[in-house]
Structure 1
Amino acid sequence: MNGEKLQALARARVQELPGAGLEHPFGPDWDVFKVGEKVFMLMTEVTGQPIVIVKADPQDGKALREEHDDITPGYHMNKKHWITLHPGGALKKTLVDELVTESYLLVVENLPRANRPVDPAVFGRAD
């Protein structure tokens, strides 16, 4: 999958997530996606290729990095809690959707209950 497609898939999934919004606090080269004022996804091309950076459970992130050459530690983020998705390889749309959704839910579950746009225990689990 090429970089533009990778970012387009991630962006399309974000548009389906309640309460998610796009900001540019680091300038026009960084798309920063937040829910409840907390970052759950970033996109940029400052590395020379279009990449997507998402939050991941540390154990899941480690397993994903071992399983996929196109997943590396989070670029300019905490390497334990963030992963970077790179274009060019075998990442499937379903995996991109799942990783974006999981990143969103990891952030939502840490928001105060009154600020949660969805219940993270059930959102997307019936799919």
Structure 2
Amino acid sequence: MDGEQIQAIARGVAERLRESETVYPFGPEHEVYKVGSKIFAMCTDGPGAPIVTLKSDPEESHVLQLAHPNIRPGWHMNKRHWVSIWPVDAHAPNNPDFSEQLIEELIEDAYMRVVYSLPKAKRPLEYRER
């Protein structure tokens, strides 16, 4: 799967999430997805390839990076709380490809991680605890 395909899947998922908004605070080449004014994902170009960067749990991101060489510490982000999904490339020829399902799950997890970090009043209605 190439970087453009990874970004297309990420966009599709991010755009259909409740109260997700697309903004360009870092310029037109950095497509940022927010919920409640907090970033959960970004589609941008890394060195030589389109990538997707996502909010992640530090422990889960470590496991993901061990299991998938194309999931790496967040490019230009906090390396502990963000990961970047890179396309399969010549530098990692034995690297397993990503499934669409894995990308969807990672986007949804990033979104939920941010949603539950928001004050209840700023969360999408269905995620507010009564």
Provide the TM-score with structure 1 as the length reference.
0.90
SS in structure 2 of the partner of residue 114 of structure 1: helix
Stretches of structure 1 that go unaligned for 5 or more consecutive residues are: 122-127
What is the CA-CA distance between 1:16 and the residue it aligns to? 1.8
More displaced 10-residue stretch of structure 1: 16-25 or 44-53: 44-53
Correspondence 1:1-127 to 2 at 5 A: 1-88=1-88, 90-117=97-124, 118-119=126-127
Runs of 4+ in 1 over 2 A off after TM superposition: none
Counterparts of 1:59 and 1:22, CA distance in 2:
28
Give me the whole-angstrom Cα distance separating, in 1, the residues matched to 2:85 and 2:46: 14
The whole-number CA distance in structure 2 between the counterparts of 1:46 and 1:120 is 36
CA RMSD of aligned residues (A): 1.4
The sequence identity of aligned pairs, in percent, is 40
CA distance in 2, matches of 1:70, 1:90: 8
Find the aligned partners of 2:80 and 2:128 in 1 and give their Cα distance.
21
Structure 2: tracts of 5 or more residues without a match: 89-95
User: Does the 8 A contact of 2:73 with 2:83 survive in 1?
Assistant: yes
Counterparts of 1:120 and 1:102 in 2: how far apart (Å)? Answer: 17
2: CA distance, partners of 1:6 / 1:33: 15
- 1:35 deviates by 0.4
Write the letter of the residue equivalent to 1:36: G
Query: Partners in 2 of 1:10 and 1:120 — Cα distance?
Result: 25
| SS of 2:127 mapped into structure 1 | coil
Rounded to whole Å, the distance in 1 between the matches of 2:7 and 2:64 is: 18
Q: Deviations over 1:35-83 (max 9, x none)?
A: 0000000111142200000011111000000010110000011101100
C-alpha separation in 2, matches of 1:47 and 1:105: 28
Distance in 2, matches of 1:54 and 1:92, equals 16
Q: TM-score, normalised by structure 2?
A: 0.88
